[in-house]
Structure 1
Amino acid sequence: MTDPAAVADVRSPLSDGEWHRLHPLTPVLRGGLFLVVVLGIVITNLRDRIIGWLFPAVADLERYEADPVDYVVSNNLILLALVAVLAVLLLLLGGFWLSWRFHTLRITGDDVEVRSGILFRTHRRAPLDRVQGVNLTRPMVARLLGAAKLEVVGAGLDSNVKLEYLSTTNAEALRADILRLASGRQLARASDAAGSVPRGRAAVATVSAALTGLIDGAEQPVAEPASVVHIPPGRLIGSRLLSGSTLWLLVVVAAIIVGSVVGTPWVLFTLVPAALGFAAYWFRTITRALRYSIAPTPSGVRITFGLFTTITETLPPGRVHAFEIRQPLLWRGCGWWSIRVNRLSGRSANDAQSQQFADVLPVGTRDDVERVLRLFLPGISAAQWQELVVHGLLGPHDESDPYVTTPRRAWWLRPLSWRRNGVLLTPDAILLRRGLIWRSLVILPLARLQSVALSQGPIGRSQKAATLTGHTVAGQVPGAVGALDRDDAVAVWQQAATAVIAAAASDRSHRWDAAPPADPTPTTIATIDEEEGRA
């Protein structure tokens, strides 16, 4: 067994190795949708009577002749109806109590475990050494009740363990415990203190009182670390209105107008649902990105976003497998960029929440891009950043471009972007540069790459061109660039094979340190501004 004294200083009462119950309101919060549906059915069936109660002067009493309430009153069944309603309420409360009673969690030195179910029991376990991150979600109703839910992100599909619900204070403490234990620092310290004692599952005999200490009252203020990026609401709204969805809306409107002119005028009525659909999409994407913040913490990068439902995720170092810096055409005049990542989220790549978690910077300036990248890649030097910006984001500019690009003979395979299309192998990553209208720079850290592949189709063989692909975990960031010179691509592929092995052997980012990263202050480089001005 792990020495309890060695790890007691890193444990809260909820992570003492014993089984604990969740927040007593968990069944109500989890079954909230069911209750809303039942309430909607009741209101729908009794809407006329409710109107009559509220506005008796306009009530049409003849409508209530077949009403079930009238039937109960006229047959003197009021007492029986009240007993039936009370019985249903008692059954619901009993079911909620049993659901809460059988829903427990345990945090040991090795795993996060959750047991649930009354008739059909479920036992889920997430090994701490496989934790990819911890997400804290506070839906609007749960926030009013001072509750939140934790989601421990595992390393496989559908491997996440959800702890829903906890008080906000306990959720914050439990998240910190999980991340500290997953870092390996505390386990290593306990192993050193125990000497030759075999490492086992930690179980500190500390039992919390008063319903396991999960009822802490209303939500308390949570200390948020200072964000290194601030997105003005005007910039956020403008970025969504200048996104690709706006172009699609213009295309749809043009098609509807043309259809009404050459066809029937009734086509114009489809403008209303189309506009409502796009407005709902814009509203949803804007509210999700409001209250955005990103900051370094001892346990990783902490990202918070959401207006109504607030989501706070903590990405430990070494858990991001790919980065993509993007700039749509309509953003170029404003100098805006966005960053998305590939990470293990425990969800399918097509899942809506997986796409939402991929955006670590919804919209920002070039300085914001540098601040965010330095949180995840703190080892980037000033010279490397200059190369990243001048040749990666804004390039190419001249013959000194270090990227392997599309040869002139194969320009027709990338007619607009063949000069920009390219790949560069650095000591730490593979950089993939694509797009002229929609600029994109993909960063694949060598220590996170699974494999590097070369492929050729019949057209590529005829032009002596090839496609280079860096394989990472599934996500929103594509890891391929095509139409490269075949010989140059083979050289990059051979060098990358050796560099990936060396980087993986020396990588220690999966075990992070207690000290938070340094403040990522952007580097002021005059040559970058000059190159951007020429671009």
Structure 2
Amino acid sequence: MSEVQFRKVHRATPLLRIWTLLLAVLAAFILNVNASAVAFVWGLINGEHTLALVPMLLTIGGVLLAGVLIWGLTKIWWNAVGFRITAEEVQLKRGVVSKDLRTARFDRIQAVDLVESFIARIFRLAEVRVETAGGSDSAINIGFLKKHEAEALKRELLDASQYPSRTPAQGLREEEAVEDDVDKQFLVPKIPVQRTIASTLLSLTTIVAVLGAIIFFFTPLGISAALPFLVGIVPPVWNLIDKSWQFNAELHDDRLNVSYGLANRRKQAIPLERIHAVKLKQPLLWRLVGWWTVTVTVVGYGDTTQGGTSKILPVGSKELALKVLEAVSPLSREDIATAADPARISQPNYAPPEAARFLTPVDRTRQGVTLIGAQPHAVVLHEGRFVPRMAVIETSHIQELTLKHGPIQRTLGLSTVVLDLVAGPVSMSASDLGAADGKELLDILRRRQLPALESTPLEQNSLD
């Protein structure tokens, strides 16, 4: 059988990688040329200058030569980049002077995203991002490709990672054959633009930005002092809008497909088995309208997803948040009804004692740990009075357990049990429990059922 050949990315890829630099150079050139051109034309009108063809032709020739050089140099980079899909993995090669080959086995792929940056959308191109079990730094970015080619590659990789026994081509043909007959279940309908804008306006980040702008612009501090503040505060506000703009999520088999974005459109495909922890949160001002947000920790995404999102519900009603929780967590509808109301804690197995009021006087009665099942298969943590938060995790997904006693806690007879999870936005700690309760909870969770370890053989890969 002949070896699978590397496929090429789109020829414009090198230029799109450095488009901001090219745009800055072009803007500076146009600005200078325009200023010189206006002065020259004005001189011709006043008779101060005569028409000189040689400098004009030299300028035009220099621009054309620079364009040819850039195109030629980027072709060298383009020729060194390629990707291929074998029977067991996806490979990406790159590098002109030093060669680099990155691989991701199908059984190690955590998620596959389709990313359409602002500049790529203009040319109808897209990038495929493959998240692996090695964390955020191990992601493989394949791009840029024509949009329909990127979508086909995404389907091919998703099918191969879900059914590693089949070849990618077989899986792709089968998925395309049934694609029209699949009844996609929309978990989160498209979020209205009005709700996105309203939720952003009601966020603490936006309020701080507005108050800061008012203080800086209407006080002697002036614009120069306000500029660093705005540079730091505007990106988070924009991030809130961009990652919830026309957000929608649908369930397809055992995979959650989310789509969102204003400037940068992104489509993420998250296998449900890769979701380890879920957190529901209600920001302070959202309590006025009853909105919640749902965040998840996905294996392989880490603390950052380079433009991706860990929120599978940016903003929505409590009923919708609980529907999402039921779909992606180990809790059943009955479990949620009896023990997982995010707004209040009903019957916790463990809660801070009276002595903890000195450490948590505000929300002591809102903190607690609820174990689901006789042999617990899930843990639910509640906390927060003014900003209610609830986190859920399957016990087999807990990586490590830590029992902590600070100096004040030891004096009051308290302890904290820290649930160490895979890297991600969700963290869980049972804070300020009684010392005996903390040790008992630790012993129970230590007896949790752990997943079987897998080993992956190492193989040699060739750059050819």
- Bin for the TM-score computed over the shorter chain: 0.7 to 0.9
1:151 is the counterpart of 2:113: no
Matched residues, percent identical?
25
1:33 and 2:20 are equivalent in the alignment: yes
Q: CA contact under 8 A between 2:131 and 2:301: conserved in structure 1?
A: yes
Given the alignment of the two structures, is residue 228 of structure 1 paired with residue 196 of structure 2, yes or no? no
1:494 pairs with one of 411, 433, 443: 443
1:267 to 207, 210, 221: 221
Q: Is the 8 A contact 2:339 2:370 kept in 1?
A: no
Which runs of structure 2 are paired with 1:360-509 in the superposition (5 Å)? 360-377=312-329, 380-390=331-341, 393-396=342-345, 401-426=347-372, 427-501=376-450, 504-505=451-452
Q: Which amino acid aligns with 1:381?
A: S
* CA pair 479-500 structure 1, distance change in 2 beyond 3 A: farther
Describe the superposition over 1:147-174 as per-residue Cα deviations: whole angstroms up to 9, x where unpaired.
1001101222411111011111111111
Specify whether residues 280 and 458 from structure 1 end up closer, same or farther in structure 2 by C-alpha distance, changes over 3 A only: closer
Letter in 2 for 1:457: G
Aligned to 1:118: 96
Which residue does the alignment assign to 2:294?
339
- Structure 2 residues without counterparts, runs of 5 or longer: 171-181, 455-464
| Residues in 1 aligned to 2:46 and 2:226: alpha-carbon distance in whole angstroms | 35
Q: TM-score, normalised by structure 2?
A: 0.83
Please give the alpha-carbon distance, in whole angstroms, between the structure 2 residues aligned to 1:122 and 1:256: 49
SS at match of 1:237: helix
CA 1:50/1:145 → structure 2, altered by over 3 Å: closer, same or farther?
A: same
Q: Which has the higher strand share?
A: 2
Aligned mates of 1:277, 1:227 — CA distance in 2: 36
What is the aligned partner in structure 1 of residue 83 from structure 2? 105
Q: Which residue of 1 aligns with 2:67?
A: 89
* 1:309 counterpart residue number: 264
Give the letter for the 1:407 counterpart. Answer: P
Q: Could you tell me how far apart the structure 2 residues matched to 1:372 and 1:107 are? A: 34
Q: Is the 8 A contact 2:156 2:168 kept in 1?
A: no
Shift in Å at residue 97 of structure 1?
2.5
Query: In the alignment, residue 325 of structure 2 is paired with which amino acid?
Result: L
Distance 1:497 1:140 in 2: 48
Unaligned ranges ≥5, structure 1: 5-15, 191-201, 206-222, 508-535
| Residue of structure 2 in register with 1:243 after alignment | 203
User: Which letter maps to 1:484?
Assistant: L
- Could you tell me which residue of structure 2 aligns to residue 175 of structure 1? 154
Supply the distance in 2 between the matched residues of 1:179 and 1:299 (Cα, whole angstroms): 11
Q: Which has the higher contact order (CA 8 A, sep 6+)?
A: 1
**TM-superposed deviation, 1:225:** 5.1
Q: What is the Cα deviation at residue 94 of structure 1?
A: 1.7
**Distance of 2:169 and 2:241 partners within structure 1:** 45
CA distance in structure 1 between the aligned counterparts of 2:436 and 2:183, rounded to whole angstroms: 51
> Quick check: 1:425–1:496 contact (8 Å CA) kept in 2?
no
CA shift, 1:387, in A, is: 2.1
Residue 90 of structure 1: how far off its partner (Å): 2.3
Instruction: Give me the CA root mean square deviation.
Output: 3.5
In 2 relative to 1, CA 460–61 (structure 1 residues): closer, same or farther, beyond 3 Å?
farther
TM-score by length of 1: 0.73
Q: Secondary structure at the match of 2:54?
A: coil
Instruction: Say if 2:202 and 2:285, in contact at 8 Å, map to a contact too.
Output: yes
One-letter identity of the residue aligned with 1:104: G
1:353 partner SS: coil
Q: May I ask how many residue pairs the two structures share in their alignment? A: 437
Q: 1:255 to 1:23 in 2, by over 3 A?
A: closer
Asked whether the equivalents of residues 341 and 360 of structure 1 are also in contact (C-alpha less than 8 Å), the reply is yes
